[in-house]
Structure 1
Amino acid sequence: MDALELLLNRHSNPRLVEPAPAGEQLETIFKAGLRAPDHAALTPWEFIVFGGEQRKKLGDILAAATEAKGESPETIEKARLAPLRAPMVITVVAKVKPHDKVPQLEQEISAGCALMAMQMAALALGYNGIWRTGWFAFDRNVHQALGLDAQDQIVGFLYLGTAQVEVRKLPERDPAQFVRYFGS
């Protein structure tokens, strides 16, 4: 698939099964993430991989955070099972570093670009995935359980695997509805 076709047809797929990327293909996905825009070469990212049985540990972390919020047993169990919806989950973290010229937001956007690049690389390699966020990304209990520092921010959970079903083609969008030429 050529790069432009990939960009113009990007889509998420929440119905994922084995296999997940591994070996050289997974390494390629990480390399794509490491090419994200990175002002001052701060490399403000960390990729935490949960595959196989490790997904259950992530589920336990999400369930504990849900329980701490006082949610129902059904909601807690749903959180526990969430990482099992794909054979691999990569938690992408913005590892924010103090810098006079690169504010926190820019570093978080950089980590988001890394996540997007990784998803696009997975698609190019024949896999699929979905970028999920939700309140877990901002929950301090989740951050602590993952060993994150106070300034770190989860920008998303990249669920990866093989598409179980093909998703419908997304509708075309008219760029004119989103573009404004200043001064025109």
Structure 2
Amino acid sequence: MQNDIKLIDFLRDRHSTPVAQIKEPGPTQEELDEILTFAVRVPDHGKIAPWRLVVYRGDLRQKLGEAFLKLALEKDPEMTETARQAELNRFTRAPLVVGVVSTAAPHPKIPEWEQVLSAGALAFNLVLAAQAHGYVANWRTEWIAYDDAALDVLGVKPGEKVAGFVHIGSSDFPTPDRPRPELSQVVTYAGEV
């Protein structure tokens, strides 16, 4: 019964910490392995694992930022210094970033849409698993998830799509809750007038 109360409190208070407020430390390798193990426990019709995870950490994050800046400058050579720094810091804002990559493809029995939904469930489960381990997390996409050249730099293969990049770390920032939808605006009961 005590665990149920904790889970209810966890779900009631769950929120995403802004990426700019995420800092060291990040999870140890042992914690990360456990977080990732929990994250992949998602609905997966047919048990085909239509997704994969890519962990970006260490010095690679800065190298990726340099690549993102180069690509962004090709599109907008007049970028401000603030925008340039944002590209350089895109993956260094948190101790680690986990890419959730959807590998959804035509299948004789499993609708592709269900495969895509499974990748989305994995991304959110990753956020929850990180938070359950005492870390903060934020699920983002941003332009790099939709740019072919950036996807190539990130190791995303042709035909794959990024469901999100989950930034994981620590924070002492008191994140205020954001407005949530009123149930009356988003819930209907079938058969009732």
Task: Answer yes or no: same fold by TM over 0.5.
Answer: yes
CA contact (8 A) 1:137 1:154 kept: yes
Please state whether the residue corresponding to 1:41 is helix, strand or coil.
coil
Where does residue 50 of structure 1 map in the other structure?
Answer: 56
**TM-score of the superposition, structure 2-length normalised?**
0.86
Please state whether the residue corresponding to 1:159 is helix, strand or coil.
strand
Where does residue 8 of structure 1 map in the other structure?
Answer: 12
Gaps of 5+ in 2: none
CA contact (8 A) 1:20 1:162 kept: yes
RMSD: 1.9
CA contact (8 A) 1:65 1:139 kept: no
Please state whether the residue corresponding to 2:150 is helix, strand or coil.
helix
Query: How many positions carry a matched residue from both structures?
Result: 184
Residue 142 of structure 1 aligns with an amino acid whose one-letter code is: A
Alpha-carbon distance in 2 for matches of 1:63, 1:106: 35
Residue 147 of structure 2 aligns with an amino acid whose one-letter code is: D
Please state whether the residue corresponding to 2:100 is helix, strand or coil.
strand
CA contact (8 A) 1:6 1:120 kept: no
Instruction: Label 1:82 to 1:146 Cα distance change in 2 as closer, same or farther (>3 A).
Output: closer
Alpha-carbon distance in 1 for matches of 2:138, 2:77: 25
Identity %: 33
Alpha-carbon distance in 1 for matches of 2:37, 2:108: 27
**TM-score of the superposition, structure 1-length normalised?**
0.89
CA contact (8 A) 1:108 1:153 kept: no
Where does residue 160 of structure 1 map in the other structure?
Answer: 168
Gaps of 5+ in 1: none
Alpha-carbon distance in 2 for matches of 1:129, 1:71: 32
**Deviation at residue 91 of structure 1 after TM alignment:** 1.2
Query: 1:60-79 alignment to 2 at 5 Å?
Result: 60-74=66-80, 75-79=83-87
Please state whether the residue corresponding to 2:177 is helix, strand or coil.
coil
**Deviation at residue 71 of structure 1 after TM alignment:** 4.8
Residue 42 of structure 1 aligns with an amino acid whose one-letter code is: I
Decide which moves more: 140-149 or 126-135: 140-149
Where does residue 123 of structure 1 map in the other structure?
Answer: 131
Please state whether the residue corresponding to 1:83 is helix, strand or coil.
coil
Where does residue 41 of structure 2 map in the other structure?
Answer: 35
Where does residue 142 of structure 1 map in the other structure?
Answer: 150
Alpha-carbon distance in 2 for matches of 1:72, 1:101: 49
Mapped pair 1:25 → 2:31: yes
Residue 46 of structure 2 aligns with an amino acid whose one-letter code is: A
**Deviation at residue 139 of structure 1 after TM alignment:** 0.8
CA contact (8 A) 1:32 1:114 kept: no
CA contact (8 A) 1:52 1:88 kept: yes
